[in-house]
């Protein structure tokens, strides 16, 4: 099955094409700030390089966040437009789960995506055989609160994330030998992982999410807050 994977929730966007289990094209590009217009050109480049026409796509998988509100919306808009126009199913995938899939380990995996106000989006995952299991769903944490919670687990944890350097010093000091940290591209979302997770979800449920998939914001946007402050119904 030919699957297109897209994620734009973080600073570095990602796009990949899968043909069954084989990755036939994958690329990452800086899209923030103000670089989301690169995605259509990147998609055209992928199709040309892989010698695949859009009409040959059979499934589209898209990262739904958490991450940049604008970034998530851009990715969803592109994915929904393609799925609608090509009449192929669409599946949403957690950006944190896709990030956690970057590393195969027996230890806990904690992917981090920077939020605002000094907080992070984080989830907790672990490989159980060939399956990546979500132990704690995506949530917003202060780094002190997150570190305290993880220290109480008493297990080794691998942290992954594009902006990991902002949290490295504190986490390494607080968690000491419990903490390990991703290296290089392990800290970037891989759209091939998005595509694989989307394909697994599709094969499991055969549910086209074109009209139901929503961004995973975890917090109300500023527009929603202002709307509520004016006394408008939510």
130-189 confidence digits (pLDDT tens): 899 999 999 999 999 999 999 998 999 999 999 999 999 999 999 999 999 999 999 999
| CA–CA separation, 228 and 12 (whole Å) | 32
Q: What residue segments make up the domains of the chain, in order of their start?
A: 2-95+189-229, 103-187
Question: Does position 35 have pLDDT exceeding 80, yes or no?
Answer: no
What CATH code is assigned to 103-187?
3.30.420.40
Q: What is the pLDDT of residue 118?
A: 80
User: pTM surpassing 0.85?
Assistant: yes
Burial class (CB in 10 A: 0-12, 13-18, 19+), 227: middle
User: Can you list the alpha helix ranges (DSSP code H) found in the chain?
Assistant: 38-50, 69-86, 95-100, 143-153, 165-175, 191-205, 222-229
Q: For residue 206, give both structure tokens.
A: 């055969």
Question: Does position 34 have pLDDT exceeding 70, yes or no?
Answer: no
Answer CATH for 2-95+189-229 from 2.30.30.830, 3.30.420.40, 3.20.20.80, 1.10.260.40: 3.30.420.40
Question: Does position 218 have pLDDT exceeding 70, yes or no?
Answer: yes
**Which SS3 state, helix, strand or coil, does residue 28 take?**
strand
């Amino acid at each position: 099955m030919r699957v297109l994977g897209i994620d734009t929730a973080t600073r570095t966007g990602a796009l990949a094409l899968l043909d069954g289990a084989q990755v036939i094209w994958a690329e990452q590009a800086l899209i923030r700030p103000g670089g989301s217009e690169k995605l259509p050109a990147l998609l055209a480049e992928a199709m040309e390089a892989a010698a695949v026409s859009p009409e040959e796509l059979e499934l589209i998988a898209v990262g739904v966040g958490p991450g940049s509100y604008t970034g998530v919306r851009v990715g969803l808009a592109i994915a929904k437009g393609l799925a609608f126009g090509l009449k192929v199913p669409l599946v949403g995938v957690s950006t944190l789960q896709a990030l956690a899939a970057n590393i195969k380990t027996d230890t806990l995996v904690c992917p981090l995506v920077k939020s605002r106000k000094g907080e992070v989006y984080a989830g907790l995952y672990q490989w159980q055989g060939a399956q990546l299991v979500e132990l704690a769903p995506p949530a917003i944490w202060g780094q002190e609160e997150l570190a305290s919670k993880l220290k109480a687990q008493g297990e080794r944890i691998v942290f992954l994330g594009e902006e990991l350097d902002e949290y490295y010093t504190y986490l390494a000091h607080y968690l000491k030998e419990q903490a390990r940290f991703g290296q290089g591209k392990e800290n970037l979302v891989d759209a091939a992982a998005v595509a694989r997770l989307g394909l697994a979800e599709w094969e499991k449920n055969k549910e086209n999410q074109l009209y139901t998939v929503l961004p995973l914001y975890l917090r109300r946007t500023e527009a929603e807050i202002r709307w509520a402050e004016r006394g408008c119904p939510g």
